[in-house]
Amino acid sequence: MSASTRLGIVFAVSANVIWGLFPIFWNLLESVPSLELVGHRIVWAFVFAAVIAVVRFRISGRASRTGLLQALSRRKTWATYSLSAVLIAINWGAFLYAVTHSQVLLSSLGYYINPLLNVLLGVIILGERLSPVRWGAIGLAAIGVTVMTIAAGAVPWVSLAMATSFAGYALVKKKAKLDALNGLFLETLVLLVPTLIYLTWLHGSGGGAFGRGNTSIDSLLVVGGFLTLVPLGFFSAATQRIPLTLVGILQYVGPTLQFIVGAFYFGEDLSTFTLVGFAFVWSGVLVFLFSRT
């Protein structure tokens, strides 16, 4: 194994460990409404992404600068990233709602389902072919979600919102031309104005958690923006060093850690039906991972 491959594995695992432990951090802000959390995540992620974008632009070569400026001059680029921005905002909102409302297990379920849904979208929209074995894997995951739906008496909308929004996000980004960090800068830029309008209105009406004298809350909101970029940077670096198949397998570190955090750190209810449902989902994931086509 080359040094580059080893480093890529370290980057991929690091990204997914951070994502897997994210519920612990965001739960520290459970007193802040999830919509407001999304707003601050967008604003502070934009601030840090903008700083990074400026530094990268200044130190990059002339060809890289020209390519970036040409991409930014195209309407298609702005249309693509406007759509991806809406989808990632929905994903963040569903995730933050889950971790601040004692539904971390459902957030992990969403990220288990997501890769399988990516494949399904590829078949339906991109015309990709899927073997009977992998159709069976998706069927097992669907059975798992159905079991948990029947047990809970309600559709796990948080899980499905997270999975569908992120699958749609991945589909849109297949046609995106910018790298991960520049892409996030553009996405947060697209969302910045409506977000600032919302946060200004919220603060002006007497609401809002930021700037109310609670230094701890203020600091955590700012740090949340920075932590949004760190795993994305690691993930981007990993994809440049190791095969995408290995990246895909290592992505399951995140939801597995989220499941452990939800069940054992937060002590969320882990009923028999929940375990049975997860067993079907895990079975589908394993069948999918170990099938060759």
* pLDDT > 70: percent of the chain: 97
Tell me the whole-structure pTM to 2 decimals.
0.85
What are the Cα distances from residue 29, in Å, to 22, 216, 220, 229, 245? 12, 10, 8, 18, 35
DSSP string, 137-201: HHHHHHHHHHHHHHHHTS--HHHHHHHHHHHHHHHHHTT--S-HHHHHHHHHHHHHHHHHHHHHH
Which residues form the domain of 257? 3-290
**Weakest-pLDDT range from 25-29, 149-153, 242-246:** 242-246
pLDDT band at 123 (very low <50, low <70, confident <90, very high): confident
Of residues 155 and 84, the one with the higher pLDDT is 84
- Whether the per-residue pLDDT at 65 is higher than 70: the answer is yes
pLDDT tens column, 74-83: 899 999 999 9
Q: Within a 10 A sphere around the Cβ of 25, how many other Cβ atoms?
A: 14
Of residues 119 and 210, the one with the higher pLDDT is 210
d(CA 178, CA 283): 35
d(CA 165, CA 171): 10
What does the pLDDT read at residue 293?
A: 57
Rounded average pLDDT over 171-181: 79
CA 11 to chain centre: 16
Token pair for residue 141?
């995951």
Of residues 5 and 25, the one with the higher pLDDT is 25
Mean pLDDT of the chain: 86
pLDDT band at 201 (very low <50, low <70, confident <90, very high): very high
Token pair for residue 28?
């520290």
**Weakest-pLDDT range from 47-51, 144-148, 171-175, 288-292:** 288-292
What does the pLDDT read at residue 93?
A: 93
Token pair for residue 192?
């910045």
**Weakest-pLDDT range from 25-39, 78-92, 174-188:** 174-188
Token pair for residue 111?
């990220």
Number of domains in the chain: 1
d(CA 266, CA 269): 9
Phi, psi of 31 (to 5 degrees): -75, -15
Closest-CA residue to 106 (of 149, 73, 143, 138) = 149
The DSSP call for residue 208 is: -
Q: Around 291, how many Cα atoms within 13 Å sit in the side-chain half-sphere?
A: 17
CB of 38 closer than 8 Å to CB of 277: no
d(CA 216, CA 250): 33
